[in-house]
C-alpha cells in the first residue's frame, strides 16, 4: 500500500486507515471462531486442548508463557476457563462475543 505519505506529516492512524478494522480485532475474532469450531466437535482431541491449563497448583509468579486459553480469556473478558467452557455451550451468546471481539479496543490515534 503506497500512499506516498511522509513520516514528517504526522498523520494519525485514524487519518491513515479510516474505518478499516484493527488487525488485532480480526485476529481475536478468528481465534474465537476457531475455538468455537473445535469445541463443538466433542470427539476430536482439539476439543480437549482448547481449554487446557495446568490443573495442579498455581503457575509461577515470574512472567509466564501465554497459553491458548489465556488468549481466549483475554479476548472474551472472562476470568476463568470454567466460565469460558459454559460460554461455548451457549451458541447464541458465543456468537455475540465473537462479533463484539475487538470493538472494546480503542483505535490508536
Q: What is the pLDDT of residues 29-59, one digit of tens each?
A: 999 999 888 888 888 888 888 888 766 666 6
Q: What's the confidence (pLDDT) of residue 102?
A: 62
Residue 28 covered by a domain? yes
Number of domains the chain contains: 1
Q: What's the confidence (pLDDT) of residue 109?
A: 32
Residues 83, 73: Cα–Cα separation, whole Å: 9
pLDDT at 56: 63
Domain assignment present for 88: yes
Is the alpha carbon torsion for 40, 44, 46, 50 positive or negative?
positive
Answer yes or no: is 11 within a domain.
no
Residue 58 lies in a domain: no
Residue 41: give the domain boundaries.
19-53+67-98
Residue 61 lies in a domain: no
Confidence at residue 45, expressed as pLDDT on a 0 to 100 scale: 86
pLDDT at 106 over 50: no
The pLDDT of residue 108 is above 70: no
Smallest Cα–Cα separation from 90: which of 36, 9, 52, 32? 36
pLDDT score of 2: 56
- Cβ within 8 Å of residue 75, ≥6 positions away: 28, 31, 32, 101
**Is 27 part of any domain?**
yes
Amino acid at each position: 500500500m503506497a500512499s506516498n505519505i511522509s513520516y514528517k506529516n504526522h498523520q494519525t492512524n485514524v487519518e491513515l486507515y479510516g474505518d478499516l478494522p484493527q488487525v488485532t480485532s480480526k485476529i481475536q475474532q478468528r481465534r474465537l471462531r476457531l475455538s468455537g469450531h473445535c469445541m463443538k466437535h466433542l470427539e476430536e482431541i482439539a476439543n480437549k486442548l482448547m481449554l487446557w491449563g495446568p490443573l495442579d497448583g498455581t503457575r509461577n509468579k515470574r512472567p509466564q508463557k501465554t497459553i491458548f486459553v489465556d488468549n481466549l480469556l483475554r479476548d472474551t473478558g472472562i476470568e476463568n476457563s470454567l466460565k469460558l467452557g459454559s460460554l461455548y455451550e451457549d451458541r447464541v451468546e458465543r456468537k455475540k462475543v465473537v462479533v463484539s471481539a475487538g470493538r472494546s479496543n480503542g483505535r490508536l490515534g
